[in-house]
Amino acid sequence: MRFFLIFILFMFVSSCSSGNKTFWCGDHPCINKKEKEAYFKKNKVLEIKNNKKLSKKEMSDLQKIIEQAKKKEKKRIINEKLSNKEAKLEEKRKKKERKKLIKKAKLEEKRMIKEQKKLLKKNKNNQVKKIISKEKELPKKNKLKVANTKINDTEFNQIVDLIKKRNLKKPYPNINSIPN
């Protein structure tokens, strides 16, 4: 009776053991649990093969396939890491570019404001001088009662030059943004 119980216990333990099984992910054996789980989530199918039933030749082929799969997986992981690093570096470079462009735009805007202020000061000074000179001339014109509407060529050229200088620093308008 004792021998019989030991025999049943031995049979129970040997039948419950997993044995030497290999999980197959499509056409190659799974390398590790991560690959097995990923393949199962993707395809909802997973094959299990017993290695005991395979001959020595099939075992060596199986080992080669496993080694190749491991190498491919390692290469894929390395390439993935490199591409992630490159993407991060590219993103950092783009951020730096944006910051530089924003900084340049701000500096350009400040410079334009300063130049406009200078032009306004010059124009005000010229206008004040012209107003003063016109006030002195007005009584003379009133006496003569003749209105002089003509502008000298030199005055006209000065005004044109001022307008050109002021407009050179302005950006071109976006004609596509004009509403219909």
Mean pLDDT by 10 residues, the chain (180 residues): 82 68 81 86 79 66 85 92 93 93 91 86 70 54 49 82 82 67
State the pTM of this model.
0.33
- How far is the C-alpha of 28 from the C-alpha of 61, rounded, in Å? 11
Structure tokens belonging to residue 75: 């290469």
Residue-level pLDDT at 86: 93
Residues 119/166, Cβ–Cβ less than 8 Å: yes
Residue-level pLDDT at 75: 92
Q: Which residues of 138-157 are buried (b: 16+ CB within 10 A; e: fewer)?
A: eeeeeeeeeeeeeeeeeeee
Residue-level pLDDT at 42: 87
- How far is the C-alpha of 161 from the C-alpha of 77, rounded, in Å? 65
Residues in the chain: 180
Residue-level pLDDT at 97: 92
Residue-level pLDDT at 81: 92
Residue-level pLDDT at 29: 82
Residues 174/120, Cβ–Cβ less than 8 Å: no
Residue-level pLDDT at 85: 93
Residue-level pLDDT at 139: 47
Query: Residue 23, SS3?
Result: strand
Residues 29/66, Cβ–Cβ less than 8 Å: yes
Residue-level pLDDT at 171: 76
Taking alpha carbons only, the member of 42, 49, 5, 41 closest to residue 24 is 49
- How far is the C-alpha of 122 from the C-alpha of 91, rounded, in Å? 47
